[in-house]
Structure 1
Amino acid sequence: MNQLFKLLKQPRFSPFFWTQALGAFNDNVFKTALITQVAFNTASLTTLDGGMLVTLLPGVFILPFFLFSASAGQLADKYDKATIIRLVKLLEIAIMLLASAGFILHNLAMLALALFLMGMHSTLFGPVKYSYLPQHLQASELTAGNGLVEMGTFVSILLGQVLGAWLGSLSQHALFTSLSVLLIAVSGFHLSRRIPRSPAPVPALTINWNPVSETANNVRIFWAQPVLWLGIVAISWFWFFGATLLAQFPSLAKGVLQGSERDFIALLTIFSIGVGLGSLLCEKLSQGRHELGLVLLGAVGMSLFTFDFASTSAAIHAQLQADPGLTLRTLAGWEYWHMLADVALLGICGGLYIVPLYVLLQSRTETNYQSRVIAANNILNALFMVLSAGFSLLLFSVGLSIPQLFSATAAVNLLVAGYLCIRQPEYWFSSVAYLKRCFGAA
């Protein structure tokens, strides 16, 4: 853990870390405050159906990843990354001014436009976020750096959702939400000014502004390299897996566990903290190396604890149905704490799974193409998150419950892990070698 604390004190890492964390925080404060208002105070914003809008608005945020990721990757390869970050942070301030006007004027069109622009803000930042690290960290520091970034991202998302939900519930939500998002944006820009210069790897690059042809070019680059292609598929699958589970947490808390918003927040909090802890543990477990063996171990753990989470939540539901006098708080037995432990361990395994994959992309991609490959990864991540919604709807349409959906997702996760090992045996052999080292086998 000393490596982690040292990095957080380094001027080459610390300003970047806090800048990216504040960006993720602000995304979620604004997005959650808006969705909370639409869900609980629709009439003040529009005559449209609130339920339909709550479903559509996250899509407005994701859309820019498809439209602008290809261009964002080229910009990050062509220009100084520190300069791009500062310009993106200035853009964030302008977007938050628009969002503030939308909240104060109760103008849904302005708020939807601001949400779309915040999606674009995240799209522009994404390729810089992961290509910055190999430019400023040594190879032995990449696991620690990525672990800290993933931890910071998930904790920021969590805190942003909690603060956004609280702000959206206030009677003076417009004023307090506007002040909050503007303050966060300005703080992010202030920190970004301390980020050291990051010279462009390909300053002579000619920008192709056509997102379709440029995305096709990027796909050709990593399609010809199976290691990169499989790494991107594995990362995108993580976001599919996480989106499938997290999207059902509110319904699980209310319908299956017969709980309240507090139980939804508890599930989200424990999962997010778990991913953060798992991300930090990667540095300790890998001992400063790029340890690809953790990917398969993390994937197996994800499935194991998701199966158990589904079984335990179904058992809790059965007990609550059998005895109407019981509540989640008064439930006899240890099932409730068992379920929360499953969520925490699931999150930890997710952190162990995802960090080595990002290190793989950074360490095995040519420097001249690094940002563009990461941009292509972001496009596929967004596509998999959209597909996760279709996957859930399909399984619900054939009569599966939420715990059964979780079990099905865990089963598919094992198939994906098997596919990775078959297509790229390095995942299997690295896991076996890692376990042998851990247990002192010859």
Structure 2
Amino acid sequence: MKALLSQRRFGPLFFTQALGAANDNLFKNALMLLLTFGGSQLLPWQDSSLTVNIAAGLFILPFLLFSATAGSLADSMDKARLIRYIKLWEILIMAGAVLALWAGQYLLLLGVLFLMGSQSAFFGPVKYAILPQLLKPSELVAGNAWVEMGTFVAILLGTIAGGLVVGMEAALRWLSVGLLVLAVAGYLAARLIPAAPASPKAQPFQFKPWQQSREMFRIGRQNRTLFLSLMAISWFWFLGAGYLTQFANYARLNLGGDNTVVTALLVAFSVGVAIGSMLCERLSGGQVELGLVPIGSVGLTLFGLDLAFASPTEVAPQLMGLGAYLAEPYGWRVLIDLTLIGVFGGLFIVPLYALLQSRADEDQRARVIAANNVMNALFMVASALFGILFLSVMELSIDQYFGVLAIMNAAVALYVYFQLPEFVLRLCIWLLSHSFYRVKSQGLAQIPKEGPALLVCNHVSFVDALLLAGSCRRPVRFVMDKSIYQLPVLNWLFKVAKTIPICSQKQDPDTYQRAFERIDAELAAGEVVCIFPEGKLTRDGNINSFRPGVEKILEQRPVPVVPMALKGLWGSFFSHQGKGAFKPGRGRFWSKIAIVAGPALDGAHTDAAELEAQVRGLRGEQM
């Protein structure tokens, strides 16, 4: 994973986006602190909470206005060249920021925030859309983890620098130098990004914002899984904006801290997201693991609620520095809560971004990301409005507002998972494969990346389908014995996974016939179907003879067939060894198992006997 940074196909992009994020946050945090601790008196209004929320809204507004155009532009041209143009734009914006700072024109500085948001609106789609062109599919989660980690570490460093610069005697001089140096360094890094030409199917760019916005949302909505993932990502940014925007006032009003405490809060959150992003790559095993998303949402709710109760009931009138703050009993609790909110946020967001990139069509990928950015912007603008409503109109305290956010997070998560149970299914699969079993896979690249395919595998335990589903990158439709399909609890999971129940023709002719009709329909639709040709679980660990049902499937639709073998499952908790699968103490926990796939065979020229021989060979002597 670390080798990616040393390669030109990823390293320059990583540093380009990290330098840009650092520059944005150096300016934003310095400006927020200037406004919160005195600059607001230079504006027509005096309410610091209103100022902070207006500034947040101005930064987000360009995402609503320009994302559709940005996505269409990124899909239509070389993405590396577009990134270089955007970084040149950043240099000009920062030069304007320096002039406004020295002139003391705070209204102009708010205008610079709008321009920075515009630059980010054009950079966001191309940043994520270029990753699948530069990285292998197996590197996509790692690449996203590095991007998210780098972004939040850059946010951390820029935030710290912004807080430190504001407290220096020559604040304007050092802030000006930092803004210009980071902008120039980002442009130089961008010049090293390798070419990433547009897809041959991409349409030429035309400036038609309204039509492009309609097309962007049409593309975003045409795949339900992608659309709900866009919703989940956008909710994360609603939640993150709800926390980050209030940190300055939260530190001052609820914790009694000065600007160093504000910086510490931002550091805790940013470090947490960086840790969560890297942890996500480790836990994902190199694939897009949606099972981590529900874990992330649970952590966001639990530690969000704890944060709401962590601040003191009274604070001293004199603002504390970081040292005095950490000596208070609540000091470390708040920082730990924010760090863990960040960690679970990283687990929540990284798989969702990887999902967008992996499932979106190549010639529409940037527009899908643009649709995501627009929805993110809408949710962040809504977050600013919610902040104004709850804090300025309803006069809630900030810690009470944090409690409202945590409860809302639980409600939104339940809604998304109810609408898209694939997340819950993947969670159950992930928990199974990381608690009862230690799973290693080999040869799964033999499964075609697209189009129909039939998988055939030996049948050892009640959870074979879940283990195979957790290892295969493509969704798999499993053909399963009706008696196993109807097992309590697992039956719900099998339905969510669109499993196909089957039984013998003698036992139930209708179920038998419907099973083959559904198998053919799934293959006709280009899906992957998995069948256990033995027709039953092994009772002795050996592979039973393959039944002719697999030949009937291939006779009707001769698709590629991938033989697979499960190794090491016999004797584990859910197998039939001993006195039964569910007798505690009779089955091994934390078993080492292997899933092995062989080369795909031509379905028109194979039969059950040959497939049985292939699976026996893949399994070898290990049961």
8 Å CA contact retained: 2:36, 2:249:
no
SS at match of 2:256: coil
For the pair 1:391 / 2:389, whether they are aligned, the reply is no
CA 1:65–1:27: 2 relative to 1, 3 Å: same
Cα 1:350–1:329 change in 2 (3 A) is closer
Structure with bigger helix share is 1
Q: Give 2:19's match in structure 1, choosing from 19, 22, 25.
A: 22
User: Residues 40 and 46 of structure 2 are in contact (CA less than 8 Å); yes or no, is this contact kept in structure 1?
Assistant: no
Counterpart residue number, 2:347: 352
Matched, 1:405 2:423: no
Contact 1:223–1:229 (8 Å) recurs in 2: yes
Distance 1:311 1:56 in 2: 27
In structure 1, the partner of 2:420 is: 424
> What secondary structure, in the 3-state scheme, does the structure 2 residue paired with 1:312 have?
coil
Partner of 2:335: 340
1:311 paired residue number: 309
Contiguous gaps of at least 5 residues in structure 1: 322-326
Counterpart CA distance in 2 for 1:41 and 1:412 is 33
Residues 308 and 59 (structure 1), Cα distance of their counterparts in 2 relative to 1, 3 Å cut: closer
Between stretches 400-409 and 69-78, larger displacement belongs to 400-409
CA shift in 2, pair 1:114/1:291, >3 Å: same
Match of 1:85 in 2: 83
One-letter code of the match for 2:413? A
Tell me, in whole angstroms, the C-alpha distance in 1 between the residues paired with 2:407 and 2:52: 29
Whichever residue aligns with residue 30 of structure 2, its letter is: A
Tell me the distance in 2 between the aligned counterparts of 1:411 and 1:265.
26
2:265 to 253, 264, 267: 267
| Larger RCO, structure (CA 8 Å, separation 6 or more) | 1
The alpha-carbon distance between structure 1 residues 329 and 360, as it changes in their structure 2 partners (threshold 3 A), is closer
Contact 2:77–2:198 (8 Å) recurs in 1: yes
Specify the alignment match of 2:371 in structure 1: 376
Q: TM-score, normalised by structure 2?
A: 0.65
Instruction: Supply the distance in 1 between the matched residues of 2:369 and 2:385 (Cα, whole angstroms).
Output: 25
Q: Deviations over 1:1-34 (max 9, x none)?
A: xx2x111111110010000000111112223333
Q: 2:251 and 2:46 mapped to 1: Cα distance?
A: 24
Number of residues of Structure 1 aligned to a counterpart in Structure 2: 429
2:56 matched residue in structure 1: 58
What is the CA–CA distance in structure 1 between the aligned matches of 2:19 and 2:215, rounded to whole Å?
A: 32
In structure 2, the partner of 1:222 is 220
Q: 2:472 maps to what in 1?
A: none
> Residue 317 of structure 1: CA displacement?
2.9
Q: Deviations over 1:347-404 (max 9, x none)?
A: 1000000000000100010001000110111011011011112223434444543333
Q: Distance in 1 between matches of 2:176 and 2:259?
A: 24
Please report how far the alpha carbon of residue 109 of structure 1 lies from its aligned counterpart in structure 2 after TM superposition.
5.5
352-361 vs 130-139, greater mean Cα deviation: 130-139
Match of 1:120 among 118, 121, 124: 118
Counterpart Cα distance in 1 of 2:401 and 2:117:
29
1:11 equivalent to 2:5? Answer no
Give the residue type in structure 2 aligned to 1:354: I
Contact 2:26 2:162 in 1 (8 A): yes
Q: 2:160, 2:267 within 8 Å by CA — same for their partners in 1? A: no
For residues 393 and 34 of structure 1, the distance between their equivalents in structure 2, rounded to whole angstroms, comes to 19
Aligned mate of 2:248, from 232, 247, 250: 250
- Conservation of the 8 A alpha-carbon contact between 1:100 and 1:178: yes
Give yes or no for contact 1:310–1:404 (8 Å, CA) kept in 2: yes
Q: Which residue of 1 aligns with 2:193?
A: 195
> Which stretch of the first structure deviates more once superposed, 195-204 or 381-390?
195-204
CA RMSD, Structure 1 to Structure 2 (Å):
2.3
2:362 is matched with 367
Identity %: 45
Counterpart Cα distance in 1 of 2:105 and 2:259 = 27
Q: What is the Cα deviation at residue 110 of structure 1? A: 4.7
3-state SS in 1 of match to 2:434: helix
Cα distance in structure 1, aligned partners of 2:264 and 2:172: 26
SS in 2 for 1:117: helix
Aligned-pair distance for 1:120?
A: 1.4
CA separation in 2, counterparts of 1:303 and 1:180? Answer: 37
State the partner residue of 1:176.
174
Q: Structure 1, residues 314-354: CA drift from partner, whole Å, max 9, x if none?
A: xx437x69xxxxx754445xx54333222221110000000
> What code does the residue aligned with 1:199 have?
P
- Higher mean C-alpha displacement, 172-181 vs 234-243: 172-181
Question: 1:289: Cα distance to partner?
Answer: 1.2
CA contact (8 A) 2:52 2:245 kept: no
Displacement of 1:56: 2.6
1:288 and 1:379, CA in 2 relative to 1: closer, same or farther beyond 3 A?
same
Q: 1:324 maps to what in 2?
A: none
In structure 2, the residue matched to 1:135 is 133
Q: 2:164 — aligned with what?
A: 166
Contact residue 78 and residue 203 of structure 1 kept, 8 A? no
1:41 shift after superposition:
5.3
Please say which of residues 168-177 and 227-236 is displaced more in the overlay: 168-177
Deviation at 1:39, TM superposition (A): 4.2
Q: Which SS does the other structure have where 1:11 is aligned?
A: coil
Provide TM-score, normalisation by structure 1.
0.90
1:285 to 267, 283, 286: 283
Q: Partners of 1:373 and 1:405 in 2: how far apart?
A: 32
> Does the 8 Å CA contact 1:257/1:317 hold for their aligned counterparts?
no
Say whether the 8 Å CA contact 1:44–1:106 is kept in structure 2: no
Corresponding residue number in structure 2 for 1:435: 431
Is the CA contact (8 Å cut-off) linking 2:268 and 2:338 kept in structure 1? yes
Task: Label 1:29 to 1:338 Cα distance change in 2 as closer, same or farther (>3 A).
Answer: closer
Within 1, Cα distance between the matches of 2:307 and 2:37?
A: 30
The letter of the residue matching 1:300 is V
Structure 1 residue 138, shift from structure 2 partner:
1.2
Contact preservation (8 Å) 1:222, 1:228: yes
Q: Distance in 1 between matches of 2:395 and 2:99?
A: 44
CA distance in 1, matches of 2:408, 2:44: 41
Deviation larger for 141-150 or 336-345: 336-345
Which one has a bigger Cα radius of gyration?
2
Contact 1:77 1:203 in 2 (8 A): no
Aligned 8 A contact 1:76 1:128 in 2: yes
In structure 2, give the amino acid aligned to 1:30: F
